[in-house]
């Protein structure tokens, strides 16, 4: 009889120990992790659960390994679900939240913005500085990039849509170039399909060129269609466009921040004070609003405009009115 009592006591002690251990384990899984501030943790491709747990401990994200190791024994599917990627880990997470995060599609998305009106050269600089991004194009020429995008022989300016782009770790800059290019092609085709009839140009590419001039001339949303109207009427009348941004673009590195009379007569492919009609290529990357303005210009009689110095323009129908506006806003007379 005494041995039976002893066995019962042993069973009670064992059950109590197991129950206590179980409760302690659950407590460890429920308490916040050791992290003091948010951080991004990268699970590299090929990492196993044991390696991940060891690294989380070594980096001070978790203070003990055994609760996770035990979980891997009792619920192995929880650790098998861990996936490669960058994850943002927060200090108030417990083990369940941490493992849920590291098993999810909620990975860190990096982003960069290509502003409207930037040139292809400026876009390359933005992508060259972006991290973490695999850089395939740093040592490529513009021509090589276009060839890699299936646009062999095409001049790159204007062919990339300005916007904010997101990517996951492991993406390449060439992939972002392709996304921006595909976006411009699709947007241009959409806008061209909604164009006004009887425009003085007959191809989407010419609309892209005109849109780039509009983009560089104004950032005021309500002026884009008016600027477009001026350019379209001048094209219809055979007047030169005479827009300063084309001069600046043609000067390239020679532009020192201010235009001179000599600059306006500089013979470049883009100088619309010298050439007739549209320049041969875009001079920047226009946004959708400028593309839409190019093919849906505002009606009116204005043939000239001049900057007021506050981001807006004074529009004039005659040269006499325009010269008066120049004296007022530019020459301060």
Q: Quick one: which of 126, 163, 165, 121 has its CA closest to 145?
A: 121
For 4, other C-beta atoms within 10 Å of its C-beta total: 8
Bridge partners, 314 (sequence order): 306
pLDDT at 11 over 90: no
Residues in the chain: 333
Residue 33 has pLDDT above 80, yes or no: yes
| Mean pLDDT, rounded, for 97-101 | 89
pLDDT at 16 (0 to 100): 47
Assigned token pair, 184: 């411009």
Checking if the pLDDT of 20 tops 90, the result is no
> For residue 234, how many other CB atoms are within 10 A of its CB?
20
| Matching residue, tokens 């470049």 | 268
Question: Which segments of the chain belong to CATH 3.30.1490.480?
Answer: 33-108
List C-alpha distances in Å: 183 to 69, 70, 94, 261, 309.
Answer: 47, 49, 41, 39, 33
pLDDT at 3: 59
13 burial via Cβ count (<10 Å: 0-12, 13-18, 19+): exposed
Helices 204-217 and 224-237: crossing angle, nearest 10°? 120
Q: Report the DSSP pairing between strands 304-307 and 39-43.
A: unpaired
Mean pLDDT, the chain, rounded, equals 90
Q: Rounded distance, CA 226 to CA 220, Å?
A: 10
Helix (H) or strand (E) holding 313: strand 313-316
Per the model's pLDDT, the better-predicted residue between 129 and 72 turns out to be 129
Q: For residue 311, what pLDDT is reported?
A: 84
Q: Domain 33-108 class?
A: alpha beta
Q: Which of 198, 220, 189 is nearest to 291 (CA)?
A: 189
Once rounded to an integer, what is the mean pLDDT over residues 136-149?
97
């Amino acid at each position: 009889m005494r041995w039976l009592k002893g066995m019962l006591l042993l069973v009670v002690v064992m059950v109590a120990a197991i129950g206590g251990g179980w409760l302690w384990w659950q407590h460890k899984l429920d308490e916040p992790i050791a992290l003091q501030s948010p951080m991004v943790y990268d699970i590299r491709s090929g990492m196993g659960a044991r390696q991940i747990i060891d690294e989380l401990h070594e980096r001070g994200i978790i203070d003990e390994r055994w609760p996770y190791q035990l979980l891997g024994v009792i619920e192995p599917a929880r650790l098998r679900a861990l996936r490669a990627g960058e994850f943002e880990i927060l200090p108030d997470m417990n083990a369940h939240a941490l493992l849920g995060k590291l098993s999810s599609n909620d990975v860190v998305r990096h982003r960069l913005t290509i502003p409207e009106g930037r040139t292809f050269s400026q876009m390359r600089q933005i992508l060259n500085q972006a991290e973490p991004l695999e850089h395939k194009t740093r040592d490529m020429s513009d021509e090589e990039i276009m060839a890699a995008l299936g646009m062999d022989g095409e001049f790159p300016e204007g062919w990339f849509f300005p916007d904010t782009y997101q990517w996951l770790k492991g993406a390449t800059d060439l992939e972002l170039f392709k996304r921006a290019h595909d976006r411009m092609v699709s947007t241009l085709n959409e806008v061209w399909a909604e164009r006004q009839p009887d425009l003085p140009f007959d191809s989407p590419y010419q609309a892209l060129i005109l849109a780039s001039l509009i983009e560089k001339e104004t950032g005021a949303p309500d002026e884009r269609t008016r600027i477009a109207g001026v350019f379209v009427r001048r094209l219809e009348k055979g007047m030169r466009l005479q827009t300063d941004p084309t001069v600046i673009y043609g000067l390239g590195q020679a532009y020192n921040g201010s235009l001179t009379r000599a600059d306006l007569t500089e013979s470049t492919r883009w100088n619309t004070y010298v050439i007739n009609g549209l320049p041969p290529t875009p001079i920047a990357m226009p946004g959708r609003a400028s593309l839409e303005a190019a093919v849906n210009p505002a009606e009116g009689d204005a043939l000239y405009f001049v900057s007021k110095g506050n981001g807006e323009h004074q529009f004039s129908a005659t040269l006499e009115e325009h010269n008066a506006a120049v004296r007022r806003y530019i020459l301060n007379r």
